[in-house]
């Protein structure tokens, strides 16, 4: 029997859920499609971005988790054991949505204030900073180096904006596309490693 540390048991269980990289693979695909839509040239831009992104977001929010579990059932679960992470309570989901809304509004406001103070494109850099902090925080909490790398990449993209001549709209599309592709690549490598390491076991 292993030692019991309830906090560690929880972290390890969450770590197992994320270890195979399938969330990043599918979440990365979602981000890459979003980024590609943002980069779609006129005159399709308005229709695709205006309709496509909200539909994509709602679709991923409703079916994303089910899709992730389905893919896990076919790939990693037969090898690592079947374990589906618990859905967060409804109250937490609402709190997360409110917090996200407040964050977006707050960043918009802060960006406008900084722009008035003479900063160039502060909004984009703030977004990159928040995304980087989220990835790096998760990477440190769960001890996944690849999450740290996504965080550093987001930071580099944010810091790189002032030295390039691209517009914030183009930057937003590239930001999502590059981060999405990086997450897909990292997720694929993680999945490959998990599948190579563990042979499918049979229940006795």
Note the residues at the interface with other proteins (CB under 8 A).
1-2, 4, 6, 9-10, 12-14, 16, 73, 77-78, 80-87, 201-204
Of 163 and 199, which has the nearer Cβ to other proteins?
A: 199
CA dist 17 and 19 (Å) reads 6
Q: How far is the CB of 200 from other proteins (least distance, A)?
A: 9
Query: Which residues lie closer than 8 Å to 200 by C-beta, 6 or more apart?
Result: 78, 79
Q: How far is the CB of 203 from other proteins (least distance, A)?
A: 6
Of 93 and 133, which has the nearer Cβ to other proteins?
A: 93
The answer to whether 20 and 76 are in contact (CB under 8 A) is yes
The DSSP result for 44-61, as a single string, is: HHHHIIIIIHHHHHHHHH
Q: How far is the CB of 54 from other proteins (least distance, A)?
A: 28
CA dist 174 and 158 (Å) reads 11
Q: How far is the CB of 99 from other proteins (least distance, A)?
A: 21
């Amino acid at each position: 029997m292993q030692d019991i540390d309830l906090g560690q048991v929880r972290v390890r269980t969450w770590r197992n859920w994320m270890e195979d990289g399938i969330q990043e693979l599918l979440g990365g695909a979602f981000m890459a499609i979003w980024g590609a839509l943002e980069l779609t040239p006129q005159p399709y831009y308005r229709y695709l971005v205006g309709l496509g992104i909200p539909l994509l977001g709602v679709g991923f929010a409703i079916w994303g988790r089910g899709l992730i579990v389905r893919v896990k059932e076919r790939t990693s679960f037969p090898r690592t054991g079947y374990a589906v992470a618990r859905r967060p309570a409804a109250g937490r989901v609402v709190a997360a949505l409110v917090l996200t809304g407040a964050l977006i509004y707050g960043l918009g406001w802060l960006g406008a204030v900084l722009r008035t103070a003479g900063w160039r494109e502060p909004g984009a850099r703030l977004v990159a900073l928040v995304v980087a902090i989220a990835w790096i925080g998760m990477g440190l909490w769960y001890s996944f180096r690849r999450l740290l790398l996504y965080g550093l990449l987001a930071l580099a993209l944010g810091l790189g904006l002032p030295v390039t001549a691209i517009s914030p709209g183009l930057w937003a599309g590239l930001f999502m596309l590059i981060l999405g592709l990086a997450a897909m690549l990292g997720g694929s490598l993680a999945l490959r490693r998990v599948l190579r390491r563990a042979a499918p076991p049979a229940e006795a």
